[in-house]
Structure 1
Amino acid sequence: MARPTPELIDALRRTARNLANGSPYQWGHMGGCNCGNLAQVLTKLNKDQIHQYAMQRYGDWNEQVDDYCPTSQMPLDIVINEMLNAGLMLEDLKHLERLDDRAVLARFPLEKRYLKHNVRDDVVAYMNAWADLLEEQLLAKITLPTFSELELA
């Protein structure tokens, strides 16, 4: 699971908001799909640039992730590297494209866990639930001093 970073949490929420507000969404387009929309927010590239980079190799996001090499300097590998630097893991990209991470899905009521990977509203719900999960993980790592510790200082 991704490292819970403020940057990633914010990017997931902004991507979900963008999609909910009508940003271009096309699951079969490498720059306009689930990962492509998140990549736009994290990298500041547009969907056509991301798609163009992806077309320099074969395959969808799953295959691109399988072929990822951090030192290749292939344009999509540079995009993936930026996404990883924000806190994502390679497996997260695969899960995002299919909306199938069990920890994220467990946040939904049982009858709503069967998300369709190519339905905008399901992508929005998944990204928001994932952002909430990561935020909870981030906040759990923060310990504030107690009142008695403050008095001693």
Structure 2
Amino acid sequence: MARPNPELIDALRRTARKLSEGAPYQWGHMGGCNCGNLAQELTKLTKDQIHAYAMQRYGDWNEQVQDYCPTSRMPIDLVISEMVNAGLSLEDLKNLEKLSNKQVLARFPLEKRFLRHNQRNDVVTYLRAWADMLEEQLLETIELPDLSTNTTKKHPQYA
């Protein structure tokens, strides 16, 4: 599961916002799909650059992640490495492409859990829920000082 951190949470939210505002989305395009749009935010590469890097090897994001080698120096592996360094796991990338992370989906009412992986609005919904979940996990780790006793305690909402 992703390592909650402010930069990743912000990237997820920026990706969702841009998609909801009409950023290019094409599920069959390696730079304009679910992972491709998030990769744009995390790497600052364009969708066309990401797509060109991916086309140097075969397959969709799932296959690219399966064949990922952090030392290969293949351009798509460098993109994936940046995403992993931002806090994502390889499994997160597979789940994002198919909108299939069970923890994220469990946040929705049962009748809303059947997201379509190639539909812009469903991707936006998934990204927002994932960002919210990671933010909650991050907040659980933050300890606030108790200024009255000069000790540290968990935020009351998460204690």
1:66-81 superposed matches below 5 A: 66-81=66-81
Please give the alpha-carbon distance, in whole angstroms, between the structure 2 residues aligned to 1:102 and 1:149.
Answer: 41
Please give the alpha-carbon distance, in whole angstroms, between the structure 1 residues aligned to 2:112 and 2:62.
Answer: 24
Report the equivalent of 1:50.
50
Q: Does 1:4 align with 2:8?
A: no
Please give the alpha-carbon distance, in whole angstroms, between the structure 1 residues aligned to 2:60 and 2:74.
Answer: 15
Q: Any idea what the Cα deviations from partners look like across 1:4-37, whole Å, max 9, x if unmatched?
A: 0111000000000000000000000000000000
Q: Any idea what the Cα deviations from partners look like across 1:63-96, whole Å, max 9, x if unmatched?
A: 0000000000000000000000100000000000
1:53-64 superposed matches below 5 A: 53-64=53-64
Q: Which residue type is aligned with residue 145 of structure 1? A: P
TM-score with structure 1 length normalisation?
A: 0.97
Q: Any idea what the Cα deviations from partners look like across 1:113-138, whole Å, max 9, x if unmatched?
A: 00000000000000000000000000
TM-score with structure 2 length normalisation?
A: 0.93
Consecutive unaligned residues of structure 2, counting only runs of 5 or more, are 152-159
Q: Which residue type is aligned with residue 18 of structure 1? A: K
Q: Which residue type is aligned with residue 113 of structure 1? A: R
How many matched pairs?
Answer: 151
1:24-103 superposed matches below 5 A: 24-103=24-103
Report the equivalent of 2:18.
18
Higher relative contact order (CA 8 A, sep 6+): 1
Bigger share in strand: 2
Q: Which residue type is aligned with residue 21 of structure 1? A: E
